[in-house]
Amino acid sequence: MAPRVAYFVSSHGFGHAARACAVIEAVWRRRPDIRFELFTQTPAWFFEHSLERPVAYHEAVTDLGLVQRSSLEEDLEESVRRLSDWIPFDRPGIDALAATVTGAGCRLVICDVSPIGLEVARRASLPSILIENFTWDWIYRAYSGAEPRLRPIAEYLAEIFDGAGRRIQAEPICDAVPGALSVPPVSRRPRIGRRVTRERLGVPDDAPLVMVTMGGVEWTYRGLEDRLAGLGSRDLWLVIPGSVPEARVLGRAVLLPHHSDFYHPDLVHASDAVIGKLGYSTVAEVDSAGLPFGYVPRPSFPESPPVEAWVQRHLPCRRIGAEAFVSWRWLGEIEALLDLPRDPASPPGGGDAIAAAILQGFS
């Protein structure tokens, strides 16, 4: 029987799922016989689109993260309400998940920032691996000054995260933990070349192309048509995923829906620069392509400062404030962004390093 692994993935945004897909593909390059059982609320289509082979999908609440008003703003009040209903964990629910994991014949539980998975592993007497660049106890503790009700929740989760059998931290790391394995950024690999992607987009091969992204999620760009009426010099093109219900071209801007036929890493690697939210998967993919990055920090999210510091050390970049992004002032930053020197593309080594650590337990 093929070895099976349970993988619990946070559904807070798409970055955790993208990282999990990169790890799964890296494992398959070495051990194509391993089968994965995914537990998450991230939509099944994301994994179908990102993985070249099928996995078993189980819809399950693996963590709550933070309730978002938008991609850039959190709702602490609603987050506390939902967390208070969820913690402490429901023991019958943990037992049911443990029964599913053991019934599937899993020999290992991997968790991308998911505390539920660690509890399931403990209940099922299985080894566990935690993959993270932050954990929720660290996030909640940072907010506890403004919202003291988060402190006991952070303490409860800290004990669970500390109980992971092995801890792997992927750069950019927010809170380095002694004894954890540190690996480079983890990103999905592109599937097709720059020229092929541009042909599909209808963008000339020699034209400067800037990708504008809010991390793969839908975003309403106010005054979209008026703003894109003139894009300045250099025959500049934009590709903006998540901006419209159906794909269309507006002048020299290619607008794509939230769920399109284009693979996000292919779009990144076909571009000459990226402007977007300072999120993990975008940072990792921009780093792998060696592109200039016009990043939009999230004003209050604790992950933002350490990730911003990492970006400033490792990438050619310019900071674009949230208000400047919403008001389209970023259009005036494009020329300067394109003038930044491109870095050599970074090898996608983080996924490979994690895969090697995972496979140590399989004969």
Q: Is 7 helix (H, G, I), strand (E, B) or coil?
A: strand
Q: Are residues 154 and 220 in the same domain?
A: no
Do 68 and 115 have their domain in common? yes
* Termini Cα distance of the chain: 13
Which residue in 124, 118, 197 sits closest to 157, CA to CA? Answer: 118
Does 105 share its domain with 209? no
162, amino acid identity: D
Claim to verify: residue 257 and residue 333 sit in the same structural domain: yes
pLDDT band of 112, cuts 50, 70, 90? very high
Same domain membership, residue 31 and residue 97: yes
Give residue-wise pLDDT tens across range 158-206.
999 999 999 999 999 999 999 999 999 999 999 999 999 999 999 999 9
Give the residue among 32, 15, 357 at the shortest CA–CA distance from 185.
15
3-state secondary structure of 130: strand
pLDDT in tens, 234-269: 588 999 887 677 888 888 889 888 788 899 999 999
- We report the CATH number of the domain holding residue 16 as 3.40.50.2000
Asked if the structure places residue 344 within a domain, the reply is no
What Cα–Cα distance (Å) separates residue 143 from each residue in 112, 262, 300, 303?
21, 37, 9, 11
The residue whose two tokens read 């008001």 is 327
Domain of residue 17, residue span: 4-187+349-359
> What integer best gives the mean pLDDT of the chain?
90
| pTM over the 0.85 mark | yes
Asked if 52 and 183 sit in the same domain, the reply is yes
| Residues in Cβ contact with 133 at an 8 Å cutoff, skipping those fewer than 6 apart | 169, 170, 171, 172, 173, 174, 280, 303, 307
Sign for the pseudo-dihedral over CA of 79, 68, 286, 16:
positive
Residue 233: CB atoms within 10 Å: 8
For residue 239, count other CB atoms closer than 10 A to its CB: 25
Structurally, how many domains does the chain consist of? 2
197/225: higher pLDDT: 197
| Res. 66 pLDDT band, cuts 50 70 90 | confident
Q: Is 213 left (phi over 0), alpha (psi -120 to 50) or beta?
A: beta
Query: How buried is 149 (Cβ within 10 angstroms: 0-12 exposed, 13-18 middle, 19+ buried)?
Result: middle
**Is the pLDDT reported for residue 233 higher than 90?**
no
H or E segment at 212? Answer: strand 209-213
SS3 268: helix
Write down the pLDDT at residue 253: 86
A 10 A CB-CB count for 124 gives 20
Q: Given this model, what pLDDT does residue 328 score? A: 81
Return the DSSP state at 253.
Answer: E
**146 and 238 both lie in a single domain:** no
Q: What is the mean pLDDT of residues 76-93?
A: 91
Cβ contact 278:297 at 8 Å: yes
Which structure tokens are listed for 181?
């394995």
